[in-house]
Amino acid sequence: MQLELEKSQRFEGPNGPVLLIIMDGVGLGEQGPANAFYLARTPNLDNILSTHMIARLKAHGTAVGLPSDKDMGNSEVGHNALGAGRVFAQGARLVNQAIESKKVFNGRVWKAMLQRCGKGGTLHMIGLLSDGNVHSHIDHLFALVKQAAGEQVGRLRIHALLDGRDVEEKSALKYIDMTEHLLSSLNRERGVDYRIASGGGRMVTTMDRYEADWSVVERGWKAHVLGQARRFGSAREAVGTYYREDPSITDQYLPSFVVADESGPVGSILDGDCVLFFNFRGDRAIEISRAFEEGPDFDKFDRVRAPDVLYAGMMEYDGDTHVPKEYLVEPPAIDRTISEYLCAMGITSFAVAETQKFGHVTYFWNGNRSGYIDGNLEKYIEVPSDKMRFDEKPEMKAFEVAREVEDLLVSGNYKWGRVNFANGDMVGHTGVLDAAIKAMEAVDTCVGRLVDKVIGLGGVALVTADHGNCEIMFTERDGRRIPFTAHTLNPVPFAIVDSRPGKGFGSSNVREPGLANVAATLLNILGYEKVKDYEDSLIG
């Protein structure tokens, strides 16, 4: 399919570069003591948003393809919407539809897993145990478990990754108790053998992303597959013990654990078993999937043994490399992204972020597609993230990212670029208010530098975010401050700073504008009409 853009009769592209700045996890919320963005000293953003902001964009719920407006946005769906220019049904909605229609249970992969388990194998389910609805949802897990029991799967084990990030930071016991209640009921009523077998906090066990720290995956492998981690009689005992030993620890950083009885671990993964990774979001599912699927050349860590299992994901996590090979639910087919159109027109571009968000400005931006669209026209730069807690260094790699972007802008080789500053999201997830304030001050400095550079080069800078986070760092309950580590339902800013005197852009008065409106806006600023089925531009 040949992609073409029509030159605009209303908008003339600038002589200099166009830069889209994405402040990850920075929403517009109530200006109170919990708002790190509000409390931070941000003279550059104060000026930009007070002078040049033209819209508050919806970045959650149906505006980014999620089931309802009660669902907070996330970086994956946010960057999908920014890059695609349209709203696609996303992970949670797709899985909901597949489960409600029973399509998932009538599919080839589910039937193959049942057949294998019917020959004596155990069905293992690994994933994030929460209702955060960003990477997974406990309702999906429960539907799968109930279906397995109804189809006479005799032995099932759950490997519970603990959240504390997309939900309250110390809520693991709530989800563990819900799960244990279901399993106990099925064991009693169906005569099956269903148990929680292992687990650990998501930031230290299994759920690494972008190959930032393979030791996270190794710890998960040891716990889930080898049965090697600290042993407890139950998942509740494990979490309770860790809480008592370190009262300041939160769920996402809980060490790995294995549930064992007098005979040893109750659920190590063995030859002949089936393994389902029930997260629907891809970024933190790819590495563990590779560990299960890759052959003897796998070299990221010593697996000790690689059991012969049927492995499947809830979804295909990487459509280009086809990881995993088997999956239950088809991912959204996102085509004709803005980058595809601009590459087809020969427009040069760059994308820069540190490791934690590099895949967002590349893979997710490009419609869940790995690699370059056109390596002759594009330049992607990943700045390696530090392997440490982000509240310990809240500036993260913001200044290094800014320097890379400055060099690319000054080179004159690129007509447009996009950059992501991860701080508002990654530090926001820690729940540490003072660190989040420092994070936003670092972002402010970097945004100010880049906007000044673009204006000095005769270009246009766009400043926005992909979802909220750091603007709510705690909630209050019974007179106590409860750290809030999840994303929010708040809108995000959208501002345009133009170097041309008196130019300015008027608002197009789009009703309920969202992230998907940014692509058409970017096309207009570059001097093109919007693609016919893209969401409307934000400028008139």
Select from 277, 300, 329 the last residue of a domain.
Answer: 329
Q: How many residues are present in the chain?
A: 540
List residues bridging with 23 in a β-sheet.
421
Q: Are residues 403 and 278 part of one domain? A: no
Judged by DSSP in three states, 53 sits in strand
For residue range 332-370, what is the model confidence (pLDDT) as tens digits? 779 999 999 999 999 999 999 999 999 999 999 999 888
Considering the domain architecture, whether residues 341 and 488 belong to the same structural domain is answered as yes
Over 70: is that where the pLDDT of 503 sits?
A: no
Task: Say whether pLDDT at 506 is over 90.
Answer: no
Residue whose token pair is 């895949």: 359
How far CA 342 is from CA of 14, 332, 362, 526, in Å, comes to 16, 22, 14, 10
Tell me, what amino acid is at 247? P
Residue 4 lies in a domain: no
Report the catalytic residues.
Answer: 75
Per-residue pLDDT tens digits for 427-449:
999 999 999 999 999 999 999 99
103 and 56 assigned to the same domain: no
Q: Is the pLDDT of residue 81 over 80?
A: yes
Residue with tokens 């709203």: 87
Would residue 163 count as lying in a domain?
yes
Model pLDDT for residues 162-179, shown as the tens digit of each residue = 999 999 999 999 999 999
Q: Which of 340, 353, 469, 463 is nearest to 405 (CA)?
A: 353
What's the rounded Cα separation, in Å, for the pair 276 and 329?
A: 12
pLDDT at residue number 330: 80
pLDDT in tens, 28-74: 999 999 999 999 999 999 999 999 999 999 999 999 998 888 888 88
User: Is residue 441 within 8 Å of 432, Cβ to Cβ?
Assistant: no
The per-residue pLDDT for 319 is 63
Q: pLDDT tens digits for 269-316?
A: 999 999 999 999 888 999 999 999 999 999 999 999 999 999 999 998
My answer on whether 186 and 206 are in the same domain is yes
Q: Kindly report the CATH number assigned to the domain that includes residue 489.
A: 3.40.720.10
286 lies in the same domain as 414? no
CATH of residue 142's domain is 3.40.1450.10
Would you say residue 331 has pLDDT above 90?
A: no
The C-alpha atoms of residue 39 and residue 37 are separated, in whole angstroms, by: 6
Mean pLDDT value across residues 251-255: 98
Q: What is the predicted pLDDT for the residue at 309?
A: 98
What is the distance of C-alpha 370 from the center of its chain?
Answer: 15
Question: In terms of DSSP bridges, do strands 123-128 and 480-483 run parallel, antiparallel, or are they unpaired?
Answer: unpaired
Cis peptide upstream of residue 483 (ω within 30 degrees of 0): no
Is 521 among the domain residues?
yes
Q: Is residue 10 part of a domain?
A: no
Q: Is the pLDDT of residue 239 over 80?
A: yes
Determine what percent of the chain is predicted with pLDDT higher than 90.
87
Structural domain harbouring 222: 92-329
112 occurs within a structural domain = yes
What is the tens place of the pLDDT at every residue in 407-417?
999 999 999 99
Query: What's the predicted TM-score (pTM) here?
Result: 0.77
Q: Determine the angle formed by the axes of helices 172-190 and 235-245, rounding to 10 degrees.
A: 160
Does the residue 197 lie in any domain? yes
Report the first-to-last Cα separation within the chain, whole angstroms. 30
The per-residue pLDDT for range 90-142, each reduced to its tens digit, is 888 899 999 999 999 999 999 999 999 988 899 999 999 999 998 999 999 99
Chain centroid to CA 31? 26
Query: Same domain, yes or no, for 102 and 194?
Result: yes
Predicted local distance difference test score (pLDDT) of residue 502:
67
Total domains present in the chain: 2
In a domain, 11, yes or no: no
What was the pLDDT predicted at 175? 98
Domain boundary among 305, 329, 353: 329
Q: Mind listing the pLDDT tens digit for each residue in 8-31?
A: 999 999 999 999 999 999 999 999
Do 224 and 302 fall into the same domain? yes
Dihedral sign, Cα of residue 142, residue 147, residue 149, residue 155 = negative
